Amino acid sequence: MIIKDAITIAKHELKLEIRNKNALGGLILYSISTVFITYLSTEGYIPSNLFSALLWIILLFISINAAGKSFLQTNSGRHLFYFSNVSPQAYILGKHFFTSGLVLVLMFLVSGLSYFLFEPKIENMLFFSITIFLGSLGFAFTIGFLSAVAQTASGNFTMVSILSFPVLLPFFLTQIKLLNISLARFNIDLALKYIGILCLLNLLVLGLSYILFPYLWRD
C-alpha cells in the first residue's frame, strides 16, 4: 500500500518536473557548465586522486541543487493535497524515489561528461559506476530529507546546505576512497568493504527519514 502510494507520488512529481521544463533544463545546464568550468580552470590535466575529489565536489553541489529543491519547491497548497491523501511514510518514500532518480540521471550525465573531458585512466569501470550509483542514492536521500527539515524550519535554501554538509561527510569520505581505489591500484577486498559501508549508510538514512518524517509533517 505504502509502496504503491509512493510510486504514484514519484510519478506525479516526475510529471510536474517534466511539465516545468525550465527547471529541469536549468539543472542540466548548471551541471554541464560546472563540469566545463572545472575543465577550463584545470586545463584538463589532473592526477587521478584530484580527479575523484573534484568529481565528488561537483556532484555534491549539483545534488544539493537538485535534491535540495525537492521540498522547498512544493507550495503549501500541494502540500495540503498530499497531506489529506497519503500517509507521511508514502510521501517521503515517493519523494526519495523521485529525487534519487533525478540525482542519478544528473550524476551519470556529469560523470560521463567529465570522463569524456578529463580522460582519466579508470582501472575498474564496474566499481566506478557502482560508486557513482550508491553515492548519488545517498546524496539524494540525505539532502532530500534535510530539505524537508529546512522547509519546515524556514523555507530557506542556505539552510539545506548548512544542515547537509556535515551529515554528508561520512558519505563523501567513503566515496572518495572507493573512487580512488577504482581509479588506481584496485583491490577487491577493500572495494567490497567500502561498498558495504556505503550500503549501510544508505539504508540507515532511508530508515531514519522513514521514521522521523511523520514528525515534520504535522504543520
Partner 1 sequence: MLALKWWKILAIILVLYSIIGGFLIDVPKLSILYETIRNTYFHVTLWFAMMLLMSISMVYSIKHLSTPTQQNDLIASETANIGLFFGVLGLVTGMIWAQFTWGAFWVNDVKTNGTAITLLIYFAYTVLRGSVEDDEKRGRIAAVYNIFAFVMLILFLGILPRVNDSLHPGNGGNPAFGNYDMDNTMRMVFYPAIIGYFLLGLWFVDLRIRLKKIKQKLTAE
What amino acid occupies position 107? M
* Per-residue binding letters, 157-196, with partner 1 (x by CB under 8 A): --x--xx-xxx-xx--xx--x---------------xx--
Three-class DSSP category at 29 = helix
The residue type found at 171 is: F
**Contacts of partner 1 in 53-112 (CB under 8 A):** none
Q: By CB under 8 A, which span of 6-14, 33-41, 48-56, 199-207 interacts with partner 1?
A: 199-207
Least Cβ distance, residue 185 to partner 1 (angstroms): 16
Residue 80 or 169: which CB sits closer to partner 1? 169
| Residue-wise DSSP of 54-71 | HHHHHHHHHHHHHHHHHH
Nearest to 114 by CA among 102, 132, 137: 132
What is the b/e burial string over 18-39, where b = at least 16 CB atoms within 10 angstroms of the residue's CB? Answer: eeeeeebeebbeebeebbeebb
**Residue from the set 102, 179, 201, 206 that interacts with partner 1 by CB under 8 A:** 201
**Smallest separation (angstroms) from partner 1 to the CB of 148:** 9
Output the CA–CA distances (angstroms, integers) from residue 155 to 34, 74, 150, 178, 200, in the order listed.
Answer: 25, 10, 6, 35, 30
Q: Given candidates 53, 57, 109, 212, which one binds partner 1 under the rule CB under 8 A?
A: 212
Interaction of residue 215 with partner 1, rule CB under 8 A? yes
- Within 13 Å of residue 79, how many CA atoms lie on the same side as its CB? 14
Binding site for partner 1 (CB under 8 A): 145-146, 149, 152-154, 156, 159, 162-163, 165-167, 169-170, 173-174, 177, 193-194, 197, 200-201, 204-205, 208-209, 212, 215-216, 218-219
